[in-house]
Chains A and B, each alone.
Chain A
Amino acid sequence: MPEKTVKKIETKKETKQNPEKVVTEVKQVSEFEKKDIFDPSDIAALIDKSKVESAKTNKKLDKITQDQDKEMDFAGLTLSEEDALKAQIFGCWSIPLGLPFNEDLLVRIKLQLKPDGSIIKTEILDHARMNRPGQAFYKVLAESALRAIKLCQPLRVPSTGYERWKDMQLNFDAREMLEG
């Protein structure tokens, strides 16, 4: 039985009058949870994953109200959208095979995107680690991740909802591949 993963995402809420960042914790449901709410009677959607998404979305849209619209903004990418993006980046990312597999090999990159998926700005979140002694492999990994993003752009982003994904974070984790 796979463990359910719950990602905690920090969001910012800023107003001119309140310069202090108000951090709220929002729980994003995992893929397993998304599957739980899927309607098994929707046979067509079972056959075609893309239809699952469209079926689900349509169902929600039918019932949508103005109040719920605000909550929809937290939903992140749909499974299909996320899969398309991942598949694209998998193809572009040449993992440096010489890296030690027993180290912390997670590189987090924050992106600012244009509506067509091209990159406005990239920011390595643990940038200080790039030049730390004994962390040469981290720099190599971060550079490979940046190359992957540049090679892939424009990224396969959803055609709608730009406000939702104009800022995005990609977590490049090579451990699984290097241990393999």
Chain B
Amino acid sequence: MLFRYLFILLILLPIKVFALIEVDITRGNLNPLPVAVSPLDIDKNSKDNFKRILKKENLGSEISAIVENNLKQSGLFNPLNKEAFLQEPDIANLKPRFEDWNLIKAQALVTGKVTFIDEKLRVEFRLWDVLAGKEMMALAFTTVPSNWRRVGHIITDKVYERLTGEKGYFDTRIIYISEEGPKTDRIKKLAIMDQDGFNNKFLTLGNELVLTPRFSPTNQMVTYLSYFRNLPRVYLLDIETGKQEVVGDFPGMTFAPRFSPDGKKIIMSFAKDGNSDIYTMDLENRIVERISNHPSIDTSPSYSPDGKYITFNSDRSGYQQIYVMNSNGKNIKRISFGNGLYGTPVWSPRGDLIAFTKLHKGKFYIGVMRTDGTGERLLTENFYQEAPSWSPNGRVLIFYRESKTNSKGEGFSAKLWSIDLTGYNEKMVETETDASDPSWSSLLSN
């Protein structure tokens, strides 16, 4: 009976029902994420050994400096000043005191340890979420000591991927044309360096004119154009082995050979019977196939990453514009319709965008548009700049920029620059000499 009364009482009691409050958060800050990169811990014996082999006083600090520099250059991270760190590297690597790192406003923390084992370099690192107070990632690498810079780049790639959700681009190289001498008499050499400008090497002597080197998207092969007895010749160069071969001699006005996404073909334009069209060459059987056939000038072809489409520029509308066609040359569509001339289209490795150079009212722009031509965004403007090349993750573009000469023809220079898709993070890439025509490799550690 009592229960029955209780039951009725419960029914009659006013019950407050609260709707769950929902708040939409549609904005955030685009400030670089504050990250603390603690110097990697190193014991005395390892320190002495690496000092003997690599002439580096403290390899732990050197590797963490690479990570720090890479993160800073990306524009997405703000590495915090080491002088503010409260915890020593050895303890931080075991179990960070998150309150200490929180105090200096770090949201992520990189710690690690370097050891010398069996003549090898062993590096372990950990990535911590300071606010959640948990480990996000822990990895270790063993390699020959001379690879120490690459280890720094690989760690950065892992940290970058874990914190941004997209693959990194730090363990990569850039091939470019090194230029020296007066503008009218330039010595041009093929050169290669790490993406951060270190380990620069010249691959040709400068006796012959070299142009438009392009990395394969799948491996460390490069194709480039060189003039031999005034005839353009397409070369293949294996960066790993140094082995070089001639793919073929082509008629005059051959332009910019570029690999297909599977690395099995090269695509280029050359003039045959006075008409410039797009051709592919199978690298196994050396069969050349004509892809476009139009009385206009078709140049600068670039495959989509799935290999199904090709973007190129053509003056078939009367002015140089960007087009997309199927990889068999069918279904040609113009995609650029803005004011000015468009050239050097390059399909993003992510597949979503096409980068280009635009000339409008005497100024050169590097920009991107969607693959259907919508959403055109001009990222940077200058007196003269061209030849964008994508980082392997499709986030950053590298290109070259030439400066104006004075009335006496002096003061000319050509430099490499990079810019990310936000258009804000524009930086000059340091090179030993003047530089042009850069091409970004795929990730070396893939």
Physical interaction between A and B: yes
Q: Interface segment, A39-47, A57-65, A74-82?
A: A74-82
A171 to B27, CA, bound (A): 11
Residues of A within 8 A of B21 (CB): 76-77, 164-165, 167-169
Question: By the criterion of a CB under 8 Å from any partner CB, how many residues of chain B are at the interface?
Answer: 41
Q: Which of B7-39 contact A (CB under 8 A)?
A: 7, 10-11, 14-33
Is B422 in the interface zone, CB < 8 Å from A? yes
When the two chains form their complex, are residues B22 and A7 in contact, meaning their CB atoms are under 8 A apart?
A: yes
Q: Are A137 and B166 in contact (CB under 8 A)?
A: yes
In the complex, the answer to whether A11 meets B17 with C-beta atoms within 8 Å is yes
Q: Mark A14-48, 1 if CB is under 8 A from B, else 0.
A: 01110000001010100000000000000000000
* Nearest CB on B from A88, distance (A): 10
B434 interfacial contact with A, CB 8 Å: no
> How many residues of A are counted as interface, with CB atoms below 8 angstroms from the partner's CB atoms?
62
Interface residues of B in 137-161 (CB under 8 A from A): 160-161
Residues of chain B with a CB closer than 8 A to A28's CB: 19
Q: A98-B76, A148-B28, A151-B107 are in contact. Are A136 and B165 (CB under 8 A)?
A: yes
Please measure, in the bound complex, the distance between the C-alpha atom of A175 and the C-alpha atom of B31, giving whole angstroms.
17
Within 8 A of B (CB), among A133-180: 136-141, 143-148, 150-151, 163-165, 167-177
Q: Is the beta-carbon distance between B28 and A85 smaller than 8 angstroms?
A: no
Q: By the criterion CB–CB under 8 Å, are A93 and B352 in contact?
A: no
| B132 close to A (CB within 8 Å) | yes
Cα A173 to Cα B27 in complex, Å, equals: 8
Q: How far is the CA of A127 from the CA of B250 in the complex (A)?
A: 58
Most buried by A among B28, B33, B76: B28
Consensus secondary structure, chain A interface: mixed
Q: Which of B132, B165, B350, B395 contacts A139 (CB 8 A)?
A: B165
Residues of A within 8 A of B162 (CB): 140
Contact pattern, B 67-105, Cβ under 8 Å of A = 1, otherwise 0: 000000000100000000000000000000000000000
Assess whether B407 is interfacial by the CB under 8 Å rule: no
Of A9, A74, A174, which one neighbours B28 at CB under 8 angstroms? A174
- Check A99 for interface membership: any CB of B closer than 8 A: yes
Most buried by B among A74, A110, A147: A147
Q: How far is the CB of B428 from chain A (nearest CB, A)?
A: 21
Does the CB pair B26–A173 fall under 8 Å?
Answer: yes
Is A49 part of the contact surface with B, judged by Cβ < 8 Å? no
Is A73 engaged at the interface, CB distance under 8 Å to the other chain? yes
Contacts of B20 in A (CB 8 A): 9-11, 110, 167-169
Does B164 touch A at the CB level, under 8 Å? Answer: yes
Q: Which residues of B contact A93 (CB under 8 A)?
A: 25, 27-29
- Per-residue A-contact encoding for B25-68, CB less than 8 Å = 1, 0 else: 11111111100000000000000000000000000000000000
Contact with B along A65-104 (1 / 0, CB 8 A): 0000010011011000010011001111111111110100
Compute how far the CA of A178 lies from the CA of B45 in the bound complex, rounded to whole angstroms: 48
Contacts of B393 in A (CB 8 A): 98
Q: Is the CB of A94 within 8 A of B31?
A: yes
A15 CB → nearest B CB, Å = 6
Return the CB mask of B93-133 against A: 1 if under 8 Å, else 0.
00000000000000100000000000000000000010110
Q: A76-B21, A94-B107, A168-B20 are in contact. Are A150 and B131 (CB under 8 A)?
A: yes
Which of B14, B21, B107, B161 has the most chain A CB atoms closer than 10 A to its own CB?
B21
Contact between B164 and A26, CB atoms less than 8 A apart: no
Chain A hits for B33, CB < 8 A: 94, 96
Q: Residues of A contacting B350 with CB < 8 Å?
A: 100
Query: Of all chain A residues, which has the CB nearest B10?
Result: A15
- For residue A81, give the distance in angstroms from its CB to the closest CB of chain B: 9
Are B30 and A97 in contact, CB atoms less than 8 angstroms apart?
yes
A107-142 CB contacts (< 8 Å) to partner B: 110, 136-141
Shortest beta-carbon contacts, A-B, top 9: A98-B164, A93-B28, A137-B165, A140-B165, A98-B166, A95-B28, A150-B131, A169-B22, A9-B19
5 CB contacts below 8 A, A to B, read: A13-B15, A15-B11, A28-B19, A145-B25, A168-B21
